[in-house]
Amino acid sequence: SCLKYTSASLLTIFTASMTAATYYRPVPATLANNDTHTHTNSSDRRTAQTFCSPNSPPWNRDHVPLLLQWARGISIGVTTLAIRLVMNTYGRYEIREDECYEQFLEAAITARREQQSPSWSSQQQPQQRGLLTVSNHRSLFDDPGILSCLLPLPIAIQPHHQRWGICSQEYCFNDALPSFIKGYIGAGQVLPISRGSGINQQLLLDFGRHLANGEWCHVFPEGGVWQWKELGG
């Protein structure tokens, strides 16, 4: 009986969280049709969608709805655990624990904890300092595949320590994809952008706001997959 109620409770939490993720899913303000770009207002674009919040979810974690916080935990936790299982069973990766990696962990973990510590008063609160990382882009598995393996597992499954990323909307947020899938990807802290449409995109601005708010943000500056080892080919 206890197991039955526990299962029902977990199912209810999962359903409610994924519903919130779908409702608050990122919606690109730029549409791509036949290689031409049509710019629309972000709020108008969201209003035109079925079951979608009129405004984008807040970029400040202090104002994120509780169910969306749970959805992020589910999306990032499930994805990270699945990738670790695959990589440790069928794949292989190596992390060089050198000085650069130690500095990365310091910036990604310790600095985030200090900024989010509730013990700081408003006068003592350390300055928000984001972390921006860049890398070459050799396959579609780079994110979340490789990036999910950078942090220690107990840290990697926590959304406030994970990266914010951007993804080309024709792949991750294609109109043919169900809204539920877009919500799951968006809850994984991924924002869609339109390649070739410039920097004046609402979600690209939100990406910068996450960085300014002290988050870890990762970009692939090549803007696509390149098979060369060097950054930029």
Residue type, 62: D
Residue type, 204: L
Mean per-residue pLDDT, 41-59: 86
The residue among 231 and 94 whose pLDDT is bigger is 94
Predicted confidence band at 113 (pLDDT cuts at 50, 70, 90)? low
CA distance 41 to 21: 21
CA distance 43 to 104: 37
pLDDT for residue 33: 45
pLDDT for residue 229: 66
- The two three-digit tokens of residue 107, written as one number: 């910036």
CA distance 1 to 183: 33
pLDDT for residue 196: 82
Asked if 52 and 173 touch (Cβ cutoff 8 Å), the reply is: no
- The pLDDT of residue 6 is above 70: yes
Q: Which residues contact 43 (CB under 8 A, 6 or more apart)?
A: 54, 55
Predicted confidence band at 231 (pLDDT cuts at 50, 70, 90)? low
The residue among 112 and 181 whose pLDDT is bigger is 181
State what percent of residues in the chain have pLDDT above 70: 83
- The pLDDT of residue 125 is above 70: no
Full DSSP string of the chain: -HHHHHHHHHHHHHHHHHHHHHHT----SEEEETTEEEE--HHHHHHTSSS--SSPPPSSGGGS-HHHHHHHHHHHHHHHHHHHHHHHHT-------SHHHHHHHIIIIIHHHHHH-TT--TTTPPPP--EEEE----STTIIIIIGGGSS-HHHHT-GGGSPEEEEEHHHHS-TTS-HHHHHHHHHTTEEEE-TTS-S--HHHHHHHHHHHTT-EEEE-TTSS---SSSTT-
Mean per-residue pLDDT, 161-180: 92
